[in-house]
Structure 1
């Protein structure tokens, strides 16, 4: 049986502080973009909702500024509009990959190929709560086809939800960013609020696994005395290590 190295709480808090700092750096440019985006949309919506193609032209400079102006390893960024903003065409203006390509997909067409964006976690949670949200890890079949974490901020204008600004990070990029911090941390696992594994140095866990003892309803809160855990105060993450 492999021996577990027991880390003191200071080590766990230091690693978690790096996770917080990483996501602070994702949300900061999104937050700075919101006032500018609100002003631009107000100017274009005085006669009613705009089209998806108009949204793309409006959003592209801001999305590229997010992608090119941060040290974080972003995969994609953009804006997903509500029906208060776009009623015709694609409500998602999104650029991704090293070439900053515009996402163009038939998934927004009619019939079985269509996707109800409003049901996706990174959209529906900020719409419901009015607060920033981190969704994932999940396999992003819409954009990257890779395991992804999406950070989202709602745009609410005069009490009306206008959509969300978002940025994507691939989990393997987060793992690379955290590699130095985790190098000497044995059997430490970063989980989300539902108890899903984000990254781990425990050989028993891979990204997307549910941590043992984390029930579907209770999530990370249902983990018992068999683990030691420190939780972030700003983001839906916790570090877990066997007790």
Structure 2
């Protein structure tokens, strides 16, 4: 059967609500990216120090304190931006003891170096010059628990200098998505581009499991399939009513 022909009226409304929620999650990252782009002198790129970026700490801490879904937030520099080290993080985390700066091994040449340049969130934002998101995954090096990491590129005179990023609690995201999925007349699921389930309004799918075939490649098996906001790579799919 055709997914488009049998798409219920509620489907587009829920898809829009899901996208609105994700855009709201991205607002603090976009604001930090804009402030970084306006703060960094193009002539200083390559010679920046931690002291140069210190005035941004109150904004980072304030945004983290005000965003209940965030467990980490900050700036990750690209290579050739900082004076003393290619790898640099101005990143704060929310812990039971309060907000603290993330302190990882960023020593060049060290085999234990936290190589974030190769992560999907950083490399994706750099390659696309657009927001990127990765996960959920267990961030053993940073948060040390399950997170979604989102990133917005920071551009200074069109040069990529890093990302404004956030580690997001996937359980809170799942709860928000499930609340909206309940507005659909049947079983529905949100999956990412590697087929992993992010949220569902039915026990038929559990978060973290993978659907056998991505809904975008098997539209005939679903009542409706819709791509969510492009930067996520996420998809909303509604099962046929006969399977609900």
| Cα pair distance change 1:10/1:116, threshold 3 Å | same
User: Which string of whole-angstrom CA distances, capped at 9 and with x for unpartnered residues, describes residues 207-232 of structure 1?
Assistant: 23221213xxxxx5323411231222
Aligned pair count reads 229
Query: Which residue, 212, 221, 226 being the options, matches 2:216?
Result: 221
Q: What is the correspondence of 1:1-243 to structure 2 with a 5 Å cutoff?
A: 9-42=8-41, 46=44, 48-51=46-49, 53-54=50-51, 57-70=54-67, 72-89=68-85, 90-98=87-95, 99-106=98-105, 110-183=109-182, 187-214=187-214, 220-227=215-222, 228-234=224-230, 235-243=232-240
| Cα pair distance change 1:108/1:174, threshold 3 Å | farther
TM-score between the two structures when normalised by the length of structure 1: 0.80
RMSD, aligned CA: 2.7
TM-score between the two structures when normalised by the length of structure 2: 0.80
Whether the aligned pair in 1 keeps the contact of 2:133 and 2:148 (CA below 8 Å) is yes
Shift of 1:128: 0.9
User: SS at the partner of 1:86?
Assistant: coil
Whether the aligned pair in 2 keeps the contact of 1:78 and 1:167 (CA below 8 Å) is yes
User: SS at the partner of 1:229?
Assistant: strand
State how far apart, in whole Å, the 2-side matches of 1:223 and 1:61 are.
47
User: SS at the partner of 2:142?
Assistant: coil
User: Which string of whole-angstrom CA distances, capped at 9 and with x for unpartnered residues, describes residues 123-179 of structure 1?
Assistant: 001111111122222222232233322221101112321000012211101122234
User: SS at the partner of 2:136?
Assistant: strand
